[in-house]
Amino acid sequence: MIRPKGNLVSISLLQMAKSNMEISAILSLGLFSLLLRIRIDVEASQHGIEYVQYQVPESQPYRTAYHFQSPMNWLNDPNGPMYHEGVYHLFYQYNPYGAVFGDSMIWAHSVSYDLINWVHLDHAIEPSDPFDINSCWSGSATILPGNKPAILYTGIDANNYQVQNLAFPKNLSDPFLRVWEKYTQNPVITPPSTVDALNFRDPTTAWQGEDGKWRVIVGARNGHEGMAILYQSEDFVNWTVHLSPFYRSDSTGIWECPDFYPVSINSTNGVDTSVHNPSVKHVMKASFQVNWHDCYVLGTYDPEKENFIPEDDFTGTNLDLRFDYGKFYASKTFFDPAKNRRILWAWVNESDSSQDDIEKGWAGLQSIPRQVWLDKSGKQLIQWPIEEIDKLRDKQVSINGKELISGSIFEVSGITASQADVEVSFELPELESAELIDPTRVDAQLLCSEENASSLGIIGPFGLLVLAAKDLAEQTAIFFRVYKAQNRYIGLMCSDQSRSSLRNELDKTTYGAFFRIDPNLKKISLRSLIDHSIVESFGEEGRIAITSRVYPLLAIDKEAYLYAFNNGTLNVGISKLNAWSMKKTQFDDEQSFSYSLE
């Protein structure tokens, strides 16, 4: 039975019979004073649960064009991303009953041939049994020998304890792996006595050691301590706990969605999660619920002692390495054998209120999938939007060799600025004149909000104004400043949302991060993917990423503009700027899916 959770759609569903039927619900969306007709088809599933299929409401200014979104309702973590027999699978946390997080979360399921265009399938894993009756939370996929995928996920059981469960595809010859069956002996892992049973979740993709045994880690908490607990198995079904935590930290609280994988030390290629040899380092990522940051450390995995030795520990502060310094949480990677790369997905939450989300009828996006690899320095990861994104590039404008004069601003016209991809390379003036950094100001985010895009500097602030209104009454500034420190130059990259919307009551936090400037190159590069209500920016060829959500009132669709600006006293060059309008990706349900795989 559908369990209504109080949003408009579920209230309508309450009155429905089980057989196929169609209703039109006129939903009044207070925010935009729009009346949207949403067609809802309800059909009984083979599990006795009613699935909801719908048309995406038209003319919503904050729906995205080329980011992954569910047709409606609440979405959070990416789950179990994998590549299997020519098809990419993305599962994700989804509330079928409303646009806010719910107490009966499920695994929704979509498939793609190119990671850009998607087909939404029936839900893969839903609460059904005592071991997951109160929700099916996050987890990961592992491809077992014989090319058989297995999913380990967290069930919230009848006592509200967090246990780990297994599910397998019902029919391996179905190219979309539509139906998933839960292992009858679930749960396969229950909380050990050393951790809080209400905070023990999110199993990783498992890896196989040379001894043939499988290993998996699960995020956990004990008081303020956060940790990853290791389990081993010969058969993927019977798991035994390893005595001491695989890796832990003192003051981070629960580690949500840990991710543990090798990266090559001499190539941008990804490697399978089970690879362990002298040409790899390991990455340990944890999502810290205390500050909603996805942080990682690099280190060495010792399979004999069964532990991980990090090069630097998590600090639980702004000093931790992060994938993204904006909104980017519960991320997860997978190895893509088709292109020998490792791909990172993350949940990008809204910045408006729950009430706004209920009115919009949806909440949450997935980031653009990013390829990740180890920087040549060996000290951090690099991320870059997967190459498939370039296929969406449409109309192009280019500007070469332009001087961005002190105090100037100019419009980059000729593309659809609300749906764009912009790449720009800035040439810096003589660095000696850069302002001295105050060594006590170590918080980049704070510095970005105090010395924002409109405050004057010497080298910077300069950068882009995206999703801007014609008169600049609304603008999101992605900008840089350059500082001088003892014996080195420091760059600051910021994403300033403080003037992004005339609407109040939005989270307009400014984000920022420091990076090192190579004085020999005297260049800074920026790529921004702009998609109606999301801006994903990559500085320094993927060394820094900042994602923000913005909801302009004026700067929507054709009324959005793109500018370049310089508020520093020194001129900056634009050696190259390329901007493209971006095409919309295709999201289908299975019925309207035009390809045939049978």
Torsion sign across C-alpha atoms 140, 95, 52, 154: positive
Q: Does 357 bind ligand DQQ (CB under 6 A)?
A: no
CB nearer ligand DQQ, residue 189 or residue 257: 257
Minimum gap (Å) between residue 101 Cβ and ligand DQQ? 7
- Stretch 156-215 residues interacting with ligand DQQ (CB under 6 A): 201-202
User: Per the residue annotation, which of 77, 202, 324, 336 is the catalytic one?
Assistant: 77
Residue 250 catalytic? no
CB nearer ligand DQQ, residue 284 or residue 330: 330
Give the number of residues in contact with ligand DQQ, rule: CB under 6 A: 14
Minimum gap (Å) between residue 220 Cβ and ligand DQQ? 11
Contacts of 9 (CB under 8 A, 6+ apart): 25, 27, 38, 40, 52, 54, 72, 73, 98, 361
Q: Does 76 bind ligand DQQ (CB under 6 A)?
A: yes
Indicate which single residue of 112, 138, 274, 452 sits in contact with ligand DQQ (rule: CB under 6 A).
138
Which of 505, 592, 598, 583 lies closest to 71, judged by CA? Answer: 592
Rounded Cα distance between 181 and 170, Å, is 6
CB nearer ligand DQQ, residue 256 or residue 320: 256
Q: Using omega within 30 degrees of 0 as the cis cutoff, is the peptide bond preceding 262 cis?
A: no
Residue type, 436: L
Q: Does 105 bind ligand DQQ (CB under 6 A)?
A: yes
CB nearer ligand DQQ, residue 61 or residue 98: 98
41 in Cβ contact with 129 (< 8 Å): no
Minimum gap (Å) between residue 57 Cβ and ligand DQQ? 24
Kindly report the backbone phi and psi dihedral angles of residue 581, in degrees, each rounded to the nearest multiple of 5, phi listed first. -70, 145
Q: Does 154 bind ligand DQQ (CB under 6 A)?
A: yes
Pattern 33-72, ligand DQQ, x by CB under 6 A:
----------------------------------------
CB nearer ligand DQQ, residue 80 or residue 316: 80
Q: Does 367 bind ligand DQQ (CB under 6 A)?
A: no
Q: Residue 457 carries which DSSP code? A: B
Q: Does 324 bind ligand DQQ (CB under 6 A)?
A: no
256 in Cβ contact with 286 (< 8 Å): yes
Q: Is 541 helix (H, G, I), strand (E, B) or coil?
A: helix
Q: Does 227 bind ligand DQQ (CB under 6 A)?
A: no
Q: Does 330 bind ligand DQQ (CB under 6 A)?
A: yes
CB nearer ligand DQQ, residue 332 or residue 370: 332
Torsion sign across C-alpha atoms 466, 467, 470, 475: negative
- Which DSSP string corresponds to 124-171? SB---STTTTT-EEEEEEEEETTTEEEEEEEEE-TTS-EEEEEEEES-
Q: Does 93 bind ligand DQQ (CB under 6 A)?
A: yes
166 in Cβ contact with 188 (< 8 Å): yes
Q: Which residue is nearest to ligand DQQ (CB)?
A: 137
Active site residues: 77
The residue ranges that bind ligand DQQ (CB under 6 A) are 76-77, 93, 105, 137-138, 154, 201-202, 256-257, 287, 329-330
